[in-house]
């Protein structure tokens, strides 16, 4: 698994509860396109899924809708964290039997803390950060210094900086994360076509 760098780890260590929770949400949200190629844990790549009865019937995983409501009211706190935990549980069930590569990593990162407390959120944000970097490294062909993983590292640093500042940091973070999700979806699609 790719691990956060010293600069990123330092940002995570200084972030408050809300920034930690939102940055973790953003990491999970950006990685959800991987689930478009794992249909309810039965298939681990698009080539297999495209041959399935579920694909023929039009059964898909709607990753864009999965976490969107949590972005629209990312106020933090126990109630918000509970909603995130419920959404993550649905995603975990969707890949319950998939142990292939980044899907298993994403499932582990979806273990949302039960308490809205800085210590627990900091550990979880670090796990989500590492999972997102691992997914991008996988799509880079598991090589160090690949463009996707490098871009994801810089994106995570920018998001934490945005969330630490004054003003409408949440909206800017969402825009940045959405762009990162688009990049990952395109990369996952290219890899699936080569499979």
pLDDT, tens digit, for every residue of 114-145? 999 999 999 999 999 998 998 899 889 888 78
- Distance from chain centroid for Cα 154: 15
Q: What is the pLDDT of residue 54?
A: 46
Q: What is the pLDDT of residue 74?
A: 78
For 167, which DSSP code? S
Q: What is the pLDDT of residue 117?
A: 94
What residues in the chain have per-residue pLDDT under 70?
1-4, 36-64, 93-101, 166-167, 195
Q: State the average pLDDT for the chain.
A: 79
Burial of 96 (0-12, 13-18, 19+ CB in 10 A): exposed
Q: What is the pLDDT of residue 44?
A: 37
Residues for the chain: how many in total? 195
Q: What is the pLDDT of residue 100?
A: 61
For residues 62 and 81, give the distance between their C-alpha atoms in angstroms, rounded to a whole number. 21
Q: What is the pLDDT of residue 23?
A: 93
Q: At a CB cut-off of 8 Å and minimum separation 6, what does 3 contact?
A: 130, 133
For residues 148 and 184, give the distance between their C-alpha atoms in angstroms, rounded to a whole number. 8
CA atoms within 13 A on the CB side of 181: 23
For residues 87 and 2, give the distance between their C-alpha atoms in angstroms, rounded to a whole number. 25
List C-alpha distances in Å: 175 to 15, 109, 131, 144, 171: 20, 22, 20, 27, 6
Q: What is the pLDDT of residue 15?
A: 94
Q: What is the pLDDT of residue 99?
A: 56
């Amino acid at each position: 698994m790719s691990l956060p760098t010293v600069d990123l780890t330092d940002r995570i260590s200084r972030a408050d509860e809300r920034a930690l929770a939102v940055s973790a949400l953003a990491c999970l949200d950006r990685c959800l396109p991987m689930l478009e190629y794992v249909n309810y844990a039965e298939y681990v790549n698009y080539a297999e899924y495209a041959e399935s009865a579920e694909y023929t019937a039009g059964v898909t995983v709607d990753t864009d809708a999965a976490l969107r409501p949590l972005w629209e009211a990312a106020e933090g706190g126990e109630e918000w964290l509970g909603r995130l935990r419920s959404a993550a549980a649905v995603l975990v069930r969707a890949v319950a039997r998939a142990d292939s590569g980044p899907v298993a990593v994403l499932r582990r990162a979806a273990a949302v803390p039960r308490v809205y407390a800085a210590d627990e959120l900091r550990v979880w944000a670090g796990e989500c950060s590492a999972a997102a970097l691992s997914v991008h490294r996988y799509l880079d062909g598991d090589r160090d210094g690949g463009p996707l993983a490098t871009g994801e590292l810089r994106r995570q640093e920018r998001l934490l900086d945005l969330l630490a500042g004054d003003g409408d940091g949440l909206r800017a973070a969402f825009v940045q994360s959405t762009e990162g999700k688009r990049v990952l979806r395109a990369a996952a699609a290219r890899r699936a076509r080569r499979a």
